[in-house]
Structure 1
Amino acid sequence: MSIRHGLLALLQRGPMHGYQLRATFVASTGGTWPLNIGQVYTTLTRLERDALVRALPESEGQRPYEITEAGRAEVGAWFATPVERGERPRDELAVKLALAITTPGVDVAAVVQGQRTATMRAMQEYTRLKRGADGELPWRLVLDAMVFQAEAELRWLDHCESTLLRHAAGSLAVAPATPEVARERA
């Protein structure tokens, strides 16, 4: 998600100044996406430059912004467009396991098990947080996404573990025989 579209979506609710936008954004995402106030004001400047928002007169030392019709059209198009999964983000865990497999002396099974334990703990925490999120639908949906991602990671770790076991068993079965073993088999 771009901060640009997130701020436009929030401004559809009504005019807000930067600190309100930041607080509302963080609250709407359950704090899972911390937002720096500098990012908010930089983004507002660009949105104003692109005529997607306009600054209102200063009030109580704060300058509120409101969304323009062009901004409404932009955020409407964003909501209507599915999220592309084209470019694969870097997955630190996948890279870590790939490197563990190819690095001598690394106990890959221990790496997998350590990650499985951490992911299970995280999933339990998300589930606990869900119980306390009564009436907060946006936060519950964010937590649901986090639970589903953790579940998918656990399934993937199970897959990695079974693949590693099959690979190790296959490597032993097709290991080239030494000349002595070849003579004994003959």
Structure 2
Amino acid sequence: MSVRQSLLAILDQGSCYGYQLRAEFDRRTGSTWPLNVGQIYNTLDRLERDGLVTKGDTDAQGHVYWEITDAGSAEVRAWLAAPVERTTATRDELAVKLAIAATLPGVDVTDVIRAQRRATLAHLQELGRTRPADPEGPEELAWSLVVDALVFHAEAEVRWLDHVEQRLAQYPRHTIELATDRPRRGRPARTVR
């Protein structure tokens, strides 16, 4: 998720001060990605350094308004036009957890899967309670899009957990013993498959 581009996109609509940007981001995402004000200001400083925003007027309360530059608007257009890149490298904590658990002796990975499935199904129920049934305005629509994505991800996770359980049943012996060779210093050599 790009906080940088999201803040730029909001600024493309009009100048804002830091806390206002945070509130606008929350309104548009339903607070699903909590940002702190310090993160907002650090991002704004980097955007200014990169020539994408400038400091504008200061109001009577001392709020400094940030304005987007032409280069910033161009970056917003490029970001909105480009697809989100999906990488093949996985850092998904659940996938790594199950891969490790499946190869450890004495671990009942089925219990690990069932615990995760229960948590994911509970999360789905919670999402169902918070999902707007029929968005009445732009804020509800934005929030429903985020909730829909979370629901689809959770449903896919349940399907994937079912798949993992079936795969593990095909391989009853999946424990990996510790290697007796001691690795040399540095990164291990990559194995090609």
Which of residues 140, 147, 154 is equivalent to 2:151? Answer: 147
- Measure, in 1, the Cα distance between the counterparts of 2:103 and 2:90: 22
Structure 1: 5+ residue runs without aligned partners?
172-186
SS at match of 2:57: coil
CA distance, structure 1, for counterparts of residue 90 and residue 105 of structure 2: 27
* Counterpart position of 1:10: 10
Q: 5 Å matches for 1:22-41?
A: 22-41=22-41
Give 1:103 deviation, angstroms.
1.3
3-state DSSP of counterpart to 2:113: helix
CA contact (8 A) 1:55 1:64 kept: yes
2:54 counterpart SS class: strand
Amino acid at match of 1:44: L
- In the superposition, the TM-score normalised over structure 2's length comes to 0.83
Q: What residue ranges of structure 2 are gaps of 5+ in the alignment? A: 174-193
1:29 and 1:103 map into 2 onto residues whose CA distance is 39
**Which one has the bigger helix percentage?**
1
Q: Assess if the C-alpha contact under 8 Å between 1:109 and 1:161 holds in 2.
A: yes
What's the counterpart of residue 182 of structure 1? none
Cross-structure match for 1:79 = 80
Deviation at 1:87, TM superposition (A): 5.0
Larger RCO: 1 or 2 (CA < 8 Å, sep 6+): 2
Deviations 1:90-125 (A, max 9, x none): 111111111111111111111111100100010111
Q: Could you tell me how far apart the structure 1 residues matched to 2:62 and 2:130 are? A: 36
The Cα shift of 1:142 comes to 0.4
Q: 1:7 to 1:122 in 2, by over 3 A?
A: same
**d(CA) in 1 for partners of 2:9 and 2:141?**
16
**Who is 1:162 aligned against?**
166
Percent identity, aligned pairs only, is 56
Question: Please, what TM-score do these two structures have when normalized by structure 1?
Answer: 0.86
State whether residues 133 and 139 of structure 1, in contact with CA within 8 Å, keep that contact through their aligned partners in structure 2.
no
The corresponding residue for 1:112 is: 113
Distance of 1:30 and 1:91 partners within structure 2: 23
Show CA shifts across 1:10-60 (max 9, x none): 112211000000111122111111112111111111111222111112102
Shift >4 Å, 4+ stretches: none
How many residues are paired up?
169
Distance apart, 1:131 and its partner CA: 3.4
